[in-house]
Amino acid sequence: MPPTESAVPVSPQPGGSITYPTPGAANVSSPKTLTAAGTVQHLRLGHHLLMFLQFGDQQVYWGGDPDVVVSPAGRWSGTVCVGDPGTIELWLVDMGPEGFAALENSAHNYWGNGVPFLPSRLAPDVTILDRISATAVRTPTSCTKQEPQYYG
């Protein structure tokens, strides 16, 4: 009789995408609150989705509002204030408890100062799921009043 392999359950890897705005969009208004949307699969218990915004080639990643809503079907939406015109990168990040705690650590003030390195370096339980590039254009709009003040 051949030996049997022990069944070790394997958790599926989380995955996700940004579907709005579309990659290469050239009409993102600024300053304005952008509601981005997409899909996510296999988000682990205790993890959060978070968007990060990067302006041009700056090596600073600004955390979006921590209120990204995920439906039971895996659709998500969340907001971020696009404060300046130009090239922007939106990053979709799976943020585990260690990463979220590092982001909120008041000693570094990452919410106010931005993260000076890729968010995936915050902790081992942080994974970048997707990123897109878009172009923000100046419009006579503004970010909503409930947006945090750390957006520039």
Q: Which fold has domain 18-138?
A: Immunoglobulin-like (2.60.40)
pTM metric for this prediction: 0.86
CB 93 within 8 A of CB 127: yes
Give the Cα separation of 142 and 152 in Å (integer): 11
110: Cβ–Cβ under 8 A, 6 or more apart, which residues?
A: 63, 102, 103, 104
User: Which residue bears the tokens 């915004």?
Assistant: 53
Q: Which amino acid is at 118?
A: L
* Closest C-alpha to 93, from 71, 115, 113: 115
149: Cβ–Cβ under 8 A, 6 or more apart, which residues?
A: none
Looking at residue 151, what is its pLDDT? 39
Looking at residue 139, what is its pLDDT? 86
CB 122 within 8 A of CB 103: yes
* Closest C-alpha to 50, from 62, 60, 41, 42: 62
**pLDDT tens, residue order, the chain (152 aa):** 555 555 666 778 889 999 999 999 988 888 888 899 999 999 988 999 999 999 988 999 998 888 788 999 999 999 888 888 899 999 999 999 999 999 988 898 898 889 999 999 999 999 999 999 999 998 888 887 655 444 33
User: What residue segments make up the domains of the chain, in order of their start?
Assistant: 18-138
Give the Cα separation of 85 and 97 in Å (integer): 33
Q: Where are the alpha helices (DSSP H) in the chain?
A: 97-104, 110-113
